[in-house]
Amino acid sequence: MSKSVLSKLAKAILKQDIRIIDLTQTLQPSTPVIQLPPPMSPTKPFSSELISRYDEKGPAWYWNNIACGEHTGTHFDAPIHWITGRDLDDGATDTVNPQRFVAPACVIDVSKQCAKDERFLLTPKHILAWEKKHGKIPKGSWVLMRSDWSKRTDPAAFLNMHEDGPHVPGPNADAVRFLVEERDINGWGVEAVGTDAGQAFAFEPPFPAHALMHGSNKFGLASLCNLDQLPPTGALLIAAPLKIANGSGSPLRVLALIDDTQDD
């Protein structure tokens, strides 16, 4: 590969021919976190506590102590997050190969279906229909499901808890299996609080976007936004979690590079 590829890219970014789209939700105390029924332990929401702000505790500087669970807001699911990925040597936030933090993205837009059906499930049929229009999902890609769920700014509507569990769209088990086994993707990303559908506890296997993805050393991205600004193909994602020792995931900034000078 020519050395000039990077310098061309840098120039294109400076000229804004390549635009950077921020796929990250703002992390704040009101950021919704996943709800689990007892006796399972809940995660801490995000909190921020002032250390000093140009005052007697720190005359020239402002900073905070922050706390949250690893899976808070826009966040990365590392393979060891799930029991199926527990034995992977390169499945923690500090051991994942960093080469995999930069990868192309395929965006499957099912926002219309999700607007009509809060429990919409993506199936292999939808993926194959997408591929007919946009080409085969390349190996090593992120596959992102655009649901427009991030436009639910009210935390209750975002979590959408019902008596029978959350009503939130996601993939069915066959769709996850297809992406893992037939397409060998880098990972699976969604706009909702978790990568699995709200009713996925009742799937076979339960929580396939966790069980099958992480068991195959694939990643997850949850609580993404601005997927409506991405083309179906052609975006390049930068998604690198914090390098927490033996971390199961972390909040992160997810950036998409898109080329406005190209049609595809």
Interface with Mn ion (CB under 5 A), residue total 2
Check binding of 71 to Mn ion (CB under 5 A): yes
Which segment (3-11, 61-69, 72-80, 90-98) binds Mn ion by CB under 5 A? 72-80
Which residue, 77 or 109, is less far from Mn ion as judged by CB? 77
Check binding of 210 to Mn ion (CB under 5 A): no
- Count CB neighbours of 75 within 10 A: 31
Interface residue with Mn ion, options 23, 46, 69, 77 (CB under 5 A): 77
Q: Is 198 exposed, middle or buried (0-12, 13-18, 19+ CB in 10 A)?
A: buried
The distance of closest approach from Cβ of residue 38 to Mn ion in the complex, given in angstroms and rounded to an integer, is 20
How far lies 103's CA from each of 142, 143, 170, 248, in Å? Answer: 7, 10, 22, 20
Using CB atoms, what's the residue nearest to Mn ion? 71
Cα-Cα end-to-end distance for the chain: 22
Catalytic residue from among 71, 75, 81, 214: 81
Check binding of 191 to Mn ion (CB under 5 A): no
Amino acid identity at 105: A
Sheet holding 219-222, edge to edge: 18-22, 254-259, 235-239, 102-109, 142-146, 187-189, 219-222, 75-77, 249-251
Which residue, 11 or 243, is less far from Mn ion as judged by CB? 243
**Which is it for the CA torsion 215, 219, 223, 226, positive or negative?**
negative
126 among known catalytic residues: no
Which segment (67-75, 88-96, 125-133, 197-205) binds Mn ion by CB under 5 A? 67-75
| Contact positions vs Mn ion (CB under 5 A) | 71, 77
Please give the positions annotated as active site. 81
